[in-house]
Amino acid sequence: MQLETKSLTLGYGHKTVIDALDLQIHEGKISVLIGSNGCGKSTLLRSLARLIKPEDGTVLLDGKQLAQWSTKELAKQLAILPQGPIAPEGLTVRQLVEQGRYPHQGLLTPKSARDEWLINQALEATQLTLHAQRAVDSLSGGQRQRAWIAMALAQDTPILLLDEPTTYLDMTHQIEILDLLFELNRQAGRTIIMVLHDLNLACRYADHIIALRDQRIYAQGKPEEVISAAVVKAVFDLDCEVIRDPLFGTPLVIPYGKRKGYAE
């Protein structure tokens, strides 16, 4: 299913955050939105998930405007994991993952065999089967995030949107989550769109990078094609060196800051 925007304009009150943006999401690929704080990446992501209404322009899924999709039908195609979600006290991992089946159930229909199977699959994919009965708020940061991803997995959607899924995690857990998402994409072909702050991790994991600046797309493409010192300067106003990551071959951004490094 093709997800795209046409001349999308987003704003809050009088402030325009995104202006007349045309964007096509590559199906079956991992796309990462980058940009400086306040550039509209989260806003754009949320509008793709229909959490925000456009001021102008449209978001189209499979050629049909988002506004024309029924909420339940849309929920079967798109899942979004917002930033810093909060689980109610005492909710177990399994109970959280079960909620992922909501769009596939009526108000009174009992759980089906397929529901059970998908829930178990989701728990396995996130390696939480042994922790299924534990309360979500008793888990570590990485485990908690995996639990929320498991819920989105149980929702069984071809497209997964994640708003800064790694922001509050330590490095080990950041890699853990991104590896999981990478697997989900490579093995199951899910389209993944996420907002990431860490430029280097974005380069490592993304198939397609979309850099936002001044309410528009400044550059987009494969990490090797997009990320250069000039682009980083333009998008982030940051002086840097870009080398090739010795482990993965992807661009590695090394920022200067106030000090000039060895040269001083």
Partner 1 sequence: MIVVMAASLALLVCMAGLTLGSTLLSPLEVIAELFGLGDGENAYIVMTLRLPRVLLSFLAGAALGIAGLILQSVIRNPLASPDIIGITNGAAVAATLYTALLMGKWGVAGLPFAAMLGAGTVSLLIYLLSWNKGVTPIRLVLIGIGMAAAAGAVTTMMTVLSPTMVASQAYIWMIGTVYAANYAEVGAMLVVIGVLVPLTLILTRPAHVQELGDDVATSLGDAVQRHRTLFIVISVALAGSAVAYAGTIGFVGLVAPHIARTLIGRSFYLLVPVAGLLGGFLVCAADVIGRTLFLPYDMPAGIFTAAIGAPFFIYLLYRNRNL
- Site residues, partner 1 (CB under 8 A): 46, 49-51, 71-76, 78-82, 85-88, 90-91, 95-96, 99-100, 102-103, 105, 107-108, 155
Nearest distance, CB of residue 185 and partner 1, angstroms:
19
Nearest to partner 1 of 102, 256 (CB atom): 102
94: enclosing H helix or E strand: helix 93-99
Nearest to partner 1 of 81, 169 (CB atom): 81
Q: The tokens of 153 are what?
A: 């997995």
Nearest to partner 1 of 24, 92 (CB atom): 92
Integer CA distances (angstroms), 36 to 9, 136, 167, in order: 19, 31, 14
Judge whether 7 and 21 are in contact, CB under 8 Å.
Answer: yes
Nearest to partner 1 of 29, 104 (CB atom): 104
Contacts of 177 by beta carbon, 8 Å cutoff, 6+ apart: 142, 145, 146, 149, 165, 166, 169
Nearest distance, CB of residue 102 and partner 1, angstroms:
4
Nearest distance, CB of residue 177 and partner 1, angstroms:
17
Nearest distance, CB of residue 241 and partner 1, angstroms:
38
Q: Quote the CA–CA distance of 214 and 20 in Å, as a whole number.
A: 11
Nearest to partner 1 of 109, 187 (CB atom): 109
Nearest distance, CB of residue 255 and partner 1, angstroms:
32
Report which DSSP code applies to 68: G
